[in-house]
Chains A and B, each alone.
Chain A
């Protein structure tokens, strides 16, 4: 071990240095960004040209010799026993090479008892895959699908959260069930019992269990607020749908996948098909977004595997937009019963949270740890229940749980500020112990020229303006299974190799930046080869872990390479290694500037064709808070300004101010893109998106992008981003992710702004004209009484 002095704190606020004891293999401390050349700059994405010219190859673009096209016949009933399946006509259809019937379900929770008499798994949601076909074209595969006859014996079903909770509701599962969580970070507690369709409760997170004594806390309170909040089901809608190309060739399998985890996809496939991991290769060069839903192989990936194995040919299987909506994951809905107690001065005395949510046939419908972790409150208890319904399985979705949780918690805090007649930022100064959010609030006060918001609903005229604030909490997760190899070739080429994937967030570019900075090169000098399990395994793109997990080993490996090159340079320049300086593509003698050799020429002197160095993620400097969760958090404060037309109920978001931090920023442009995306997705959640399932048929009625409403250009307001540089001295790059924190606070900020505009609290998402008008109407009636 050795001691190094690292930058610590926030520039222009409390920046100083801290000494950490780190392993000898760690590189020297990286100075603050303003002293660096490549890191922390607005570097253009290294794959920008490939993307805008269309030369980037996504999974849907992959063409292999002899490749077939797969299609899945999905159940059009929400709950049924399969009595018979006749695939004979499909098998005989010209151009069809393989037909496969699923003998079990490969999604949702796994019932401990799953042995239907028919030999087929029961259908438990409309959209469940039943049979797959591989043919020479998608059209022929579709024709063959239409020739398959499935006889269903319909069963009673339930798709509504409240109805599913009632005694006597049709049961989705007959027994207790469990489910392995994906690497997307949804909380699933093992071994919990079910009563009817209701499983749980979960009462703990990695932050611990209940605290203190709720009853005592509420007794001490001067103000008690009780309110029920509801959030809707949101689907992920990545631009690129889920899909794979599986080439199952003589026991050796190559899979091209649109995935957030090459490792997870490989491991799923190896396990499902009983193969050694070394026989399965997953390639994922470009991915069109995932948002949490693409962490595993998926039932479609299993189907493609069977079809390729049976036909002996590669099979491409991309989901269409409807399949994407009904079967490829969603953010579970929630009903949250909240009760908050506080003293007159704002001090929280008690917080109680009881929630139910449905992830359809899956688990993971909790409302996160934000209520437990964000504010100081000595007495706290949460009970979070999963409710099963006959609907497509949920999946991790950009800050799973905490987005739902923030909508309730942050409106509750806002309501407390109104009740206490205090500024919502001052109240948070009192109850929020996070240093980063304190600084963020201070910045926002200056930026917005903030004063206490006007009295709610006080604007004259039918269109009323309002401002609202909400905060985000997201833990700093680290994934230690993050390895990078760096190679330098004799022609001076530098390669970064890792199985880590870039889901569109810019991972390739930050890797190039970190390595270029270390080697004294430019980002475009670095070739980044990632998204292939032939390379050392990298982290899944979930939990906002990637940047914080993969850039430190990249820098460490680059440092190792640099050390090797310096030794070579010292020999060539006839000086000591201590006397070598690396800058702008040159190796210099510190004492004699005329003694120098270019990176390119030095590489030409290598004894072998390439040198290589490999590094894995070290533990955080200073250790972890718990497990592999770091000490600092990824907090954020967001503000929304809205206009509400009280005659029509239409809400327009006029502006969002987002104050964020993600440790040491690596690429400002990419971070801003992430925040823009998170805010837009949050506005979508606040005002527009809603998966609607018909209770009479069990079918989603809006499984498209026409009637499933996402915001378009006119709905996106001005988004002002303030990024705070923050040094925690936790790793050799000290960087972290930003994807999830960007999406947590927006909907709550919009809801608080709507309250400030109209003086009525919107407790249910999305905030549609219908809900605004109903709430205004109700308030009017109550005032008249």
Chain B
């Protein structure tokens, strides 16, 4: 690992003043040798630095800034989470479990208890893909500046089955999948202190738009809050993850469903898929298939199949299609 200086920021303003680069920029061939980047728990940053992919000159710690790890909930306003809220805090919060079950489930199935105790919400959303070519310093992949996506032509059992262009990486955040289903809003503090609110659907960036990054965050921009809408009595949610292991593993496929009911009829639904595309995606085809229907084995299975109509699997990952079909069906049956 490279040598770097450490800056322990006491306030958001101070941290933003110190930072001049995103972590993603440090991975590019034209990385600034004087790059200074944010670090919350440092879970992803440490992995990237150990492999030698990211070599920032300065690491600005935002973990100790007071007030960033709070959860507040009101039945009228909904849920507000600070950026340094840990995955364990989310998993352990009774209000979240009651009103935002899918989000609770996504947080409690991520990684390990030890990592969940450290990892923060904002860091989780801003982490980079786990594509094994991207993660190797011995391979210069498309995202790191070469003209070749090695996964596209090589070992791609874990990779995308839809919405990819050339790069077939998948986004790593399970929390993001659940937050997509809840239409979360991300509050970003810009470098000059201006606040902007971004719907989570607009937060992630496809490699077809910009291959060097996975979020819209610019240098020095910090996530300061994540908002989830107020709960509704007729709204239910569910999340299912399939990883090769039950714990301590990344999803091969995951789904989060948020649905509103009128009696047994699904009035509206939001169905988000993770590990399917380079960003978490909303399956409009599945939503269309289930909206206005009574959810049962047949309609739920139909929605699962509908979601996969646009899937274009790679050489080694066609198995993801039946897995998604099954978990979409099961998640829909679970919210009835």
- Contact surface of A with B, Cβ cutoff 8 Å: 76, 126, 139, 142, 462, 645, 647-650, 688, 692, 694-697, 699, 701-702, 706-707, 709, 711-715, 768-770, 773-774
Q: Are B323 and A649 in contact (CB under 8 A)?
A: yes
- Pairwise interchain contact A712-B327, C-beta atoms closer than 8 A: no
CA distance A713 to B155 in the complex (A): 27
Alpha-carbon distance between A768 and B316 when the two chains are bound, in angstroms? 12
Given known contacts A648-B242, A701-B132, A711-B245, A773 and B322 CB-to-CB distance under 8 angstroms: yes
Contact across chains for B154 and A712 when beta carbons are under 8 A apart: no
B247 touches A714 (CB 8 A): yes
* B153 on interface, CB distance cutoff 8 Å: yes
What are 8 A-B pairs with beta-carbon distances under 8 A?
Answer: A648-B326, A699-B136, A699-B139, A701-B154, A709-B249, A712-B246, A768-B244, A773-B323
Closest Cβ of chain B to A779, distance in Å, is 14
Whether a CB of chain A sits under 8 angstroms from the CB of B183 is no
Q: Does B138 contact A (CB under 8 A)?
A: yes
The proximity string for B residues 30-58 relative to A, scoring 1 for CB distances below 8 Å and 0 otherwise, is 00000000000000000000000000000
Out of B1, B133, B327, name the residue touching A648 (CB < 8 Å).
B327
Contacts of A695 in B (CB 8 A): 154
Interface hub of B1, B318, B319 (most chain A Cβ within 10 A): B319
A770 and B153 CA atoms in complex are apart in Å by 18
Question: For B252, what are the chain A residues with a Cβ–Cβ distance below 8 Å?
Answer: 769
A696 touching B153 by the CB < 8 A rule?
A: yes
C-alpha spacing A394/B227, complex, angstroms = 53
Q: Is B28 among interface residues, defined by CB-CB distance under 8 A?
A: no
Task: Select from chain B the residue with minimum beta-carbon distance to A769.
Answer: B319
Interface residues of B in 225-249 (CB under 8 A from A): 242, 244-249
Q: How far apart are A625's CB and chain B's nearest CB, in angstroms? A: 43
Residue among B133, B153, B245 making CB contact with A701, cutoff 8 Å:
B133
Known: A462-B326, A647-B326, A648-B322; 17 extra A-B contacts, CB below 8 A, are A126-B138, A139-B3, A648-B323, A648-B327, A650-B242, A688-B245, A692-B155, A694-B139, A697-B150, A699-B138, A699-B139, A707-B158, A712-B246, A712-B247, A715-B245, A768-B319, A773-B323
Min CB distance A323 to B, Å, is: 13
Which residues from B are CB-within-8-Å of A126?
138
* B157 in the interface (beta carbon within 8 A): yes
Q: Which 7 residue pairs across A and B have the least CB separation, nearest first?
A: A714-B246, A770-B319, A647-B326, A701-B132, A76-B138, A694-B154, A773-B319
The residues of B that contact A650 with a CB separation of less than 8 Å are 242
CA distance A330 to B61 in the complex (A): 41
Pick the most buried of B242, B245, B252: most chain A CB atoms within 10 A of its CB: B245
Contacts of A709 in B (CB 8 A): 244-245, 249
- Tell me the complex Cα distance, A389–B248, Å: 32
A-side interface mostly:
loop
* Distance, CA A773 to CA B323, complexed state (A): 9
Q: In chain B, what residue has the closest Cβ to A647?
A: B326
Asked if A694 and B319 make an inter-chain contact with CB atoms under 8 angstroms apart, the answer reads: no
Q: 1/0 per position for B122-147, CB-CB distance to A under 8 A? A: 00000000101100101100000000
| A713 CB contacts on chain B under 8 angstroms | 247
CA distance A701 to B139 in the complex (A): 9
A319 smallest CB distance to B (angstroms): 15
Chain B interfacial residues counted at CB < 8 A: 32
Q: A699-B139, A701-B132, A701-B155 are in contact. Are A715 and B246 (CB under 8 A)?
A: yes
Q: Please report the C-alpha to C-alpha distance between residue A740 and residue B75 in the assembled complex, in whole angstroms.
A: 60
Closest CB-CB distance, B4 to chain A, in whole Å?
Answer: 12
Residue B299 CB within 8 A of the other chain: no
Contacts of B157 in A (CB 8 A): 768, 770
B317 interface contact, C-beta 8 A: yes
Question: Hey, which chain B residues are within 8 Å of A462, CB to CB?
Answer: 326
* B132 touching A707, Cβ below 8 Å: yes
Within 8 A of A (CB), among B293-319: 316-319
Given A76-B138, A697-B139, A699-B138: A770 and B317 interface contact (C-beta under 8 Å): yes
Q: Is the CB of B138 within 8 A of A697?
A: yes
Contacts of B248 in A (CB 8 A): 712
**Which residues of B sit under 8 angstroms from A139, Cβ to Cβ?**
1, 3
Contact B319 A774 (CB under 8 A): yes
- Nearest to A127 among chain B residues (CB) is B138
B154 surroundings in chain A (CB, below 8 A) = 694-697, 701
Q: Which of B1, B155, B316, B319 touches A649 (beta carbons < 8 Å)?
A: B319
Near A by CB (< 8 A), chain B positions 1-24 give: 1, 3
Contact check, A702 vs B245: say whether CB atoms are below 8 A apart. Answer: no
By a CB distance below 8 angstroms, the chain A residues around B247 are: 712-714
Give bound CA distance, A79 to B3, whole Å: 32
Closest CB-CB distance, A598 to chain B, in whole Å? Answer: 51
Q: Which residues of B contact A647 (CB under 8 A)?
A: 322-323, 325-326
Across the interface, name the chain B residue whose C-beta is closest to A704: B135
Binary per-residue interface labels of chain B (152-164) against chain A in the complex, 1 for a CB within 8 Å, 0 otherwise? 0111011000000
Rounded to whole Å, the gap between the CB of A488 and the closest CB of chain B is 48
What's the least CB distance linking A618 to chain B, in Å? 48
Given A694-B133, A701-B136, A707-B132: A714 in contact with B245 (beta carbons within 8 A)? yes
Interface residues of B in 317-335 (CB under 8 A from A): 317-319, 322-323, 325-327
Give every chain B residue within 8 A of A701 (Cβ-Cβ): 132-133, 136, 154-155
A135–B290 Cα distance when bound, in Å, is 65
A780 to chain B, nearest CB (A): 12
Chain A residues within an 8 Å CB radius of B133: 694, 701
Q: What is the distance, in angstroms, from B298's C-beta to the closest C-beta of chain A?
A: 15
Q: How long is the Cα–Cα vector from A648 to B328 in the complex, in angstroms?
A: 11
Could you tell me if A707 and B130 are in contact, using CB atoms closer than 8 angstroms?
yes
